[in-house]
Amino acid sequence: MTEATFFTAAFILYVLSALCYLAFQFSRKEGAAAAGLAAAFAGLVVHAVALVLRTFQSGHAPFTNMYESLSFLAWAVVLALIIVEWRFKVPKAGAYVMLIAIAVMALASSPLMPKEAAPLVPALQSYWLWLHVSVTLLGEAFFAVAFVTSIMYMRAKDPEKREKMDSVSYRCVSIGFPLFTLGGLVFGMVWAEKAWGTYWSWDPKEVWSLITWFVFALYLHTRIVMGWKGKRSAIIAILGFLAALFTFFGVNYLLSGLHSYA
Amino acid sequence: MKRIIRFFSSVKLAIVLIILLVVASIIGTLIPQGRDMAEYEARYGRMGAPLVRLQLTDVYRSVWFLSILGLFGLNIVACTLTRLGGKVRRAGHPRVESDPKELAGYKIKDKFRIGGGDKGGGKGGSGDAEKAKTLVAEALKAAHYKVRAAGNHLHGRRRIDGIFGSDIVHLGLLVIIAGGILTGLAGFKTDVALNPGETRDVPRGGFAVRLERFDTEMYTNGGVKDWKSTVTVVEGGRDVRTQVIEVNHPLVHKGFSLYQMAYGQNWEAATLELRIGRKAGGAGAAEAAASDAAAAKTVKAKVGEIVRLGDPEMTEILVRQFIPDFLLGENNQPESRSLNPNNPAAYVEVRRGGKKIAEGWVFAAYPEITRLRGEAAPEMTIDFLDLDAPQYSVLQAAKDPGVLLIWLGCLLVMAGLFLAFYRPTWEIRMVVGAAGAADGSAAAGAEAGKVEITAGGIAAKNRDRFEAEFARVMDELRSAK
């Protein structure tokens, strides 16, 4: 049993989960949503085995190239969904969040992503790799859930559902924001100071992390101080996630800088 | 003055400034920063010069970007200070009295009657109200609320530290900005390149470093695993300490951090591997080849070093000159295009008995263009087989007094975020009064002896969890007799 086997098994379970959640969307049967959650959880466990195997096989943290980072991001998104489901009970968001996880998994397994575990370049040989990347991606996973619930808010007609989606978006941001601040910015600065000799170099990835942070800071200030809610909040949360997405992908493929590994 | 303060303490200003910072930052990542004028002209044509003049090519150090950042700092100071006084007052001396009408307007609220019945019926309302008050206070305390009372008003509050979370975040941001300014003003960074065995002063450091050895460790697939510089700190001529510096493991000494930054090969001290052989003459080919192989000698030589071949004729060779990247420049003078060994060439002399018998340029990459001159040239071949050079290490010495402030600021930001998001302040206000006393409802008389409780709750965050807790406390009180 190799990492690839578990990865594929997790992928299948995620697809099953999405199908169950989709069935729930149409049938409104609680059982379907419960099955979706169970499949997502089973997928999460199997996927975790894949990540652990990868770690043992490569001898380093399982997020040092695009394939690994995407695989971990998908795992984090599913974890975030399960936490949100458990705390705030939004089964209607399940299908869309799982679709995001599936898309990320599919992208990871596409032939464009080199999968072989390359030995670590000197700059990445640090325990800060674990802390910086895992906490950042977990924060971004919550932004992904906020993105989904914000879009659902925009599309929903039922005022009760809108209220719920608005509140869940906010709760996701309030979990994601501290995680992103800690992992992306604070741990990033500490590591940069150790590896590059300067905590901030205005590298495009750093700048885009800061932009993402600013957008969510805007979300929180307009909401908490100025009382913005609903549509305007949802738009900012969507923009924030897109900024996070660009930080993750766009900077690597469109801009050049120090963060050339993943 | 008031207007200025009001301007700087407005959240709207904060929002405008954040948007400006975002836009400026995006521009800074789209236009390559800090390049040559020529590159911008090549890339943007006539737009190149204006871009440079507007500092769009060095956004993060530009006057206008730093001005926005400065305004942002002032904005944070003003916002925090103008709100802090009220918060401190609210924390220490909260308003205990509440108007029942105000409570009726809360989103989270309740109204019910407790007590009364057979026990307190005969004694009149005030005793019941006191009893109810104690009951309510006990229930709030049991739910970890700090209770304050005034007359028939009760005020319960949980986790007051939460309201200061945002102020601590803002203080942290200011400390980070201060750290950044200190880095910009007092930070110092320089490269120190060292050959093995070499000692150099760290500029402004008051100490020197000697490179004991430099190792490049490789993976089996050819990738670099690690660069390790073994460095001794020398102070006043005395060795103080020796440490291995590698990527991610800087050496810290006297406020300076020394990082493994780069490495290179010192081609000026290259060792060349040359093979001196005899050309096949007119004799039988096989015989000649055999004797060639026997006669060919491979030697290693450095520039300026005379090396004996060890043959009976006592032949010596001398590498006069070595050029790592050979190029014929103006006037057909050989020069080096770069410091990298892209086209290594050596000027070699062959001597016998103190007499030069052959000389010429030999090329490692192009053996066919080697031309030798001299009396022995026609019968001699020289092949430039290989070359190697000692590696040198480039360390970056950096002193940055701003770093400590940055870490302090980060700590404050994280602590503040934790307080703001995970220690939300919850408040429950209650008015305990004889039934109907507050709103004069007709039901008042019907349930004499019962005490009416009007309650309202406020949660800055985590409202749904607060709502559940509020309902639980109210249910407890309802069922209390």
Whether residue B362 has pLDDT greater than 50: yes
Whether residue B387 has pLDDT greater than 70: yes
Express each pLDDT in B279-311 by its tens digit: 765 444 555 555 555 568 888 998 888 898 888
Chain B environment of A199 (Cβ under 8 Å): 403, 406
Question: B460 and B359: one domain?
Answer: no
* Interface-testing mutation among A211, A214, A226, A259, with chain B (most B C-beta atoms within 10 A): A211
Spatial distance between the Cα atoms of B356 and B433, rounded to a whole number of angstroms: 120
Express each pLDDT in B415-448 by its tens digit: 999 999 989 899 999 998 754 444 444 444 445 5
The single-letter code of the amino acid at B3 is: R
Cβ contact, residue pair A221, B14, below 8 Å? yes
| pLDDT computed for residue B169 by the predictor | 97
Name the DSSP class of B248: T
Question: B275 and B365: one domain?
Answer: yes
Name the strand (E) or helix (H) holding A57.
Answer: helix A30-58
Give the B window 179-218 contacts with A, CB below 8 Å: 180, 189
Which residue is listed with tokens 């010192």? B266
Q: How far is B259 from chain A (nearest CA, A)?
A: 6
Spatial distance between the Cα atoms of A79 and A104, rounded to a whole number of angstroms: 14
Domain extent for B283: 269-390
Question: B247 and B277: one domain?
Answer: no
The single-letter code of the amino acid at B331 is: N
Question: B211 and B140: one domain?
Answer: no
| pLDDT computed for residue A40 by the predictor | 97
In this structure, chain B runs to a length of 481
Whether residue B123 has pLDDT greater than 50: no
Cβ contact, residue pair A194, B250, below 8 Å? yes
Question: B378 and B294: one domain?
Answer: yes
pLDDT confidence band for B122 (50 / 70 / 90): very low
| pLDDT computed for residue A258 by the predictor | 60
Residue B23 contacts A where some CB pair is shorter than 8 Å: no
Which residue of chain A has the CA closest to B172?
A: A186
Cβ contact, residue pair A218, B221, below 8 Å? no
CB within 8 Å of B150: residues ≥ 6 apart = B96, B97
Asked whether the beta carbons of B55 and B31 are under 8 A apart, the reply is no
The whole-number average pLDDT for the span B115-139 is 69
Residue B418 contacts A where some CB pair is shorter than 8 Å: yes
The whole-number average pLDDT for the span B9-32 is 93
Question: B286 and B362: one domain?
Answer: yes
Residue B410 contacts A where some CB pair is shorter than 8 Å: yes
Whether residue B50 has pLDDT greater than 80: yes
- Chain A contact residues (CB < 8 Å to B): 88, 118-119, 121-123, 125-126, 128, 167, 174-175, 177-178, 181-182, 185-186, 189-190, 193-200, 202, 204, 207-208, 210-211, 214-215, 217-218, 221-222, 224-226, 251, 255
Spatial distance between the Cα atoms of B51 and B36, rounded to a whole number of angstroms: 12
Reduced to 3 states, what is the DSSP secondary structure of residue B339?
coil
Residue B413 contacts A where some CB pair is shorter than 8 Å: yes
- Residue B416 resides in a domain: no
Question: B282 and B382: one domain?
Answer: yes
Which residue, B110, B168, B111, B196, is CA-closest to B421? B168
Which residue, A83, A79, A51, is CA-closest to A67? A51
Q: Tell me the HSE value of B470 on the side-chain side, using a 13 A CA sphere.
A: 25
- The distance from CA B348 to its chain's CA centroid, rounded to whole angstroms, is 51
Q: How far is B421 from chain A (nearest CA, A)?
A: 7
Whether residue A194 has pLDDT greater than 80: yes
| pLDDT computed for residue A257 by the predictor | 63
Which residue of chain A has the CA closest to B460?
A: A224
Give whole-number Cα distances, B170 to A188, A189, B91, in Å: 20, 18, 19
Number of domains comprising chain B: 4
Question: B383 and B397: one domain?
Answer: no
* Interface-testing mutation among A89, A191, A194, A219, with chain B (most B C-beta atoms within 10 A): A194
Spatial distance between the Cα atoms of B228 and B214, rounded to a whole number of angstroms: 6
Average pLDDT, chain A: 92
* Interface-testing mutation among A186, A228, A247, with chain B (most B C-beta atoms within 10 A): A186
CATH value at residue B246: 2.60.98
Cβ contact, residue pair B398, A198, below 8 Å? yes
Q: How far is B118 from chain A (nearest CA, A)?
A: 44
Cβ contact, residue pair B259, A197, below 8 Å? yes
Residue B178 contacts A where some CB pair is shorter than 8 Å: no
Residue B424 contacts A where some CB pair is shorter than 8 Å: no
Among residues B44, B65, B86, the one where a domain terminates is B65
- Centre a 10 Å sphere on the Cβ of residue B140 and count the other Cβ atoms it contains: 22
- Residue B178 resides in a domain: yes
Cβ contact, residue pair B28, A126, below 8 Å? no
| pLDDT computed for residue B438 by the predictor | 45
A1-117 under CATH 1.10.260, yes or no: no
| pLDDT computed for residue A254 by the predictor | 77
| pLDDT computed for residue A166 by the predictor | 93
Q: Where are the alpha helices (DSSP H) in B262-352?
A: 285-295
| pLDDT computed for residue B445 by the predictor | 46
Whether residue A42 has pLDDT greater than 90: yes
pLDDT confidence band for B1 (50 / 70 / 90): confident
Q: Tell me the HSE value of A162 on the side-chain side, using a 13 A CA sphere.
A: 12
Buried/exposed B319-344: b ≥16 CB within 10 Å, e otherwise: beebbbbbeeeeeeeeebeeeebebb
Asked whether the beta carbons of B365 and B343 are under 8 A apart, the reply is yes
Among residues B46, B65, B84, the one where a domain terminates is B65
Which residue of chain B has the CA closest to A194?
A: B248
Cβ contact, residue pair A122, B398, below 8 Å? no
- Residue B6 resides in a domain: yes
pLDDT confidence band for B119 (50 / 70 / 90): very low
Express each pLDDT in A47-91 by its tens digit: 999 999 999 988 888 988 889 999 999 999 999 999 999 988 999
Supply the pTM of this predicted model. 0.85
Whether residue B223 has pLDDT greater than 90: no
Spatial distance between the Cα atoms of B187 and B256, rounded to a whole number of angstroms: 10
Spatial distance between the Cα atoms of B323 and B338, rounded to a whole number of angstroms: 9
Whether residue A6 has pLDDT greater than 60: yes
Chain B environment of A225 (Cβ under 8 Å): 11
Average pLDDT, chain B: 86
Cβ contact, residue pair A190, B250, below 8 Å? no
pLDDT confidence band for A260 (50 / 70 / 90): low
Give the A:B interface size as CB pairs under 8 Å: 105
Name the DSSP class of B47: G
Question: B349 and B433: one domain?
Answer: no
pLDDT confidence band for B243 (50 / 70 / 90): very high
* Interface-testing mutation among A196, A206, A242, with chain B (most B C-beta atoms within 10 A): A196
Asked whether the beta carbons of B154 and B96 are under 8 A apart, the reply is yes
Cβ contact, residue pair A189, B406, below 8 Å? yes
Asked whether the beta carbons of B218 and B228 are under 8 A apart, the reply is no
Which residue of chain A has the CA closest to B222?
A: A119
The single-letter code of the amino acid at A73 is: L
Question: B368 and B466: one domain?
Answer: no
Q: Phi/psi zone of residue B322: left (φ > 0), alpha (ψ -120 to 50 degrees), beta?
A: beta
Question: B217 and B135: one domain?
Answer: no
- The distance from CA B38 to its chain's CA centroid, rounded to whole angstroms, is 31
Backbone angles phi, psi at B393, to 5 degrees: -120, 140
The whole-number average pLDDT for the span B148-157 is 91
pLDDT confidence band for A240 (50 / 70 / 90): very high
Which residue, A196, A92, A204, is CA-closest to A149? A92
Question: B325 and B360: one domain?
Answer: yes
Distance from the first to the final alpha carbon of chain B? 59
CATH value at residue B120: 3.30.310
Residue B252 contacts A where some CB pair is shorter than 8 Å: no
Which residue is listed with tokens 């910009």? B184
Express each pLDDT in A89-115 by its tens digit: 999 999 999 999 999 999 999 888 888
The whole-number average pLDDT for the span A164-190 is 95
Express each pLDDT in B84-114 by its tens digit: 999 999 999 999 998 888 888 898 999 888 8
Residue B414 contacts A where some CB pair is shorter than 8 Å: yes
Name the strand (E) or helix (H) holding B244.
Answer: strand B238-246
